[in-house]
Structures are given as C-alpha cells and as structure tokens.
Structure 1
Amino acid sequence: MKKFVTLVLLTLLLLTSSFTLPAIAVEPTDGAQIFSVHCAGCHINGSNIIRRGKNLKKSALKKYGMDSIEAIASIVTNGKNNMSAYKDRLTKEQIQSVAAYVLEQAETGWH
C-alpha cells in the first residue's frame, strides 16, 4: 500500500510540474489590440456609429482639434459627450498606445 501511495504522489508531482498554469489575461499594450477590444465597437475602421461626423478620419480629427496624440489621449482618458472615459479601464501607457494607433490609422486612411 505504501508503494502505491508513493507512486500516486510521484505521478501527481510529475503531472503538476509538467504543465504550466494558464496565463492570466492582461490588457494588451499594443494600440491595435487595445483599439480592437475597447474602441472598435463604436469606431470600426475609424468610423463612428453614434455620431457620423465625429469619426476618426484625418479630416474630422483636424476639424475638431483632435489631430495629435495628446488630444486623442485626453479624450480617451476623460471622455466627452457620448464618448466614455477610459482612465479607470486603461493604463496611461495603453491610452498613449491607442492614441498613437488612431493617429497613425488616420494618416493612412484606416487601411
């Protein structure tokens, strides 16, 4: 009986040390991933399903003074009108990453 218990314990030890635990999900730091998870629901391909004119295209960003990383980061952080604030959901680094991504996509026409 003692050999059996020892064998079971060794087997369990080998099994638990052979497999790693699944990684805990963390928020992405890549701007495209962040945009896909948090923004694309309303801003798919730079559009705006809530207010058409307030899209993320280069001309609209320029028209509304949102054509800089700082301006985009500010609105992502604090929100405005129908735009939710993300300061409690994203880190400053993530907000900077998504702002840079939005500006880059606007420059290339969201292609």
Structure 2
Amino acid sequence: MSIKLKKLIIILLLTFIVLNLNFIPTALATDTVNAEKIFSVQCAGCHINGSNIVRRGKNLKLKALKKYHMDSIEAISSIVTNGKNNMPAYEDRLSKQEIQDLSAYVLKQAEKGWR
C-alpha cells in the first residue's frame, strides 16, 4: 500500500469520526425524562420553575448560576451530591448517574429560561 493511499485512508477515517461526533446529541448519556421526574420529586418543592423559595437569589436561573459559578454540570453535580447551607445532600438518595442527569437537566433548563 502506498504512502499516499495510507494518508488518504487516515484522512477519511478521521473525517468520518469528526463528522459523527458533531451529530451526537449532547444529552446522549443523559436520561432527560428521568431527570425531569427526579427534579419534580426531589427539587421542585424549593426550586419550582428554577426559582428558590428558601433563598430567592440562590435560584437556578442562568444569571444566578453564572454569578455563583454554578453554570457547569460539574458544579451543579457537586452541590447536589454534597449539599450546601440550606441545600441538602442527595448523595445517599440518588445514584451518580441520576445526579449527572439531573445536573444536565438543570443546566439545560436554565439555558432555556425554564420555559
């Protein structure tokens, strides 16, 4: 096999991989239906529609998430897992995957304005 043919095959394979990665939905690993149910049962009591009935400024709206550096799945997962102040920890109530799904759901809802 010639060097030119090997290079062409490598380029085609890389192009195929890159194109496939671009079309994978970002929520592929996220169970959004389950996350919405978890939010309704575990979170909506205090955070209905992204608000906060306990501390108004500490809501789940994008502006507040950014202000408090909570605008990533990792940051949201951390506070859901460990809790903070009035926010209880859910480490013993939810699996790691459920916490990841829930965190992705919260961030997505915040980006959509909780509509």
User: Can you give the 5+ residue segments of structure 2 that lack an aligned partner in the other structure?
Assistant: 1-32
1:97-108 to 2 correspondence within 5 Å?
Answer: 97-108=101-112
Q: Deviations over 1:52-87 (max 9, x none)?
A: 000000000000000000000000000000000000
1:43 matched to 2:47? The reply is: yes
User: Can you give the 5+ residue segments of structure 1 that lack an aligned partner in the other structure?
Assistant: 1-28
- In the alignment, what sits opposite 1:53? 57
- In the alignment, what sits opposite 2:89? 85
1:64 matched to 2:68? The reply is: yes
**Whole-Å Cα distance in 2 between the matches of residues 90 and 44 of structure 1?**
19
- Partner amino acid for 1:44? I
**Whole-Å Cα distance in 1 between the matches of residues 99 and 37 of structure 2?**
12
- In the alignment, what sits opposite 1:22? none
Q: Secondary structure at the match of 1:85?
A: coil
Structure 1 vs Structure 2: percent identity of aligned residues? 73
- Partner amino acid for 1:32? E
Normalised TM-score (structure 2): 0.71
- Partner amino acid for 2:37? Q
- In the alignment, what sits opposite 1:9? none
Instruction: Provide the alpha-carbon RMSD of the alignment.
Output: 0.9
After TM superposition, the runs of 4+ consecutive aligned structure 1 residues lying more than 3 A away are none
The structure with more radius of gyration: 1
**Whole-Å Cα distance in 2 between the matches of residues 92 and 37 of structure 1?**
17
1:13-32 to 2 correspondence within 5 Å?
Answer: 30-32=34-36
- In the alignment, what sits opposite 1:110? 114
**Whole-Å Cα distance in 2 between the matches of residues 34 and 101 of structure 1?**
10
Deviation at 1:31, TM superposition (A): 1.0
Q: Deviations over 1:4-34 (max 9, x none)?
A: xxxxxxxxxxxxxxxxxxxxxxxxx711111
Normalised TM-score (structure 1): 0.74
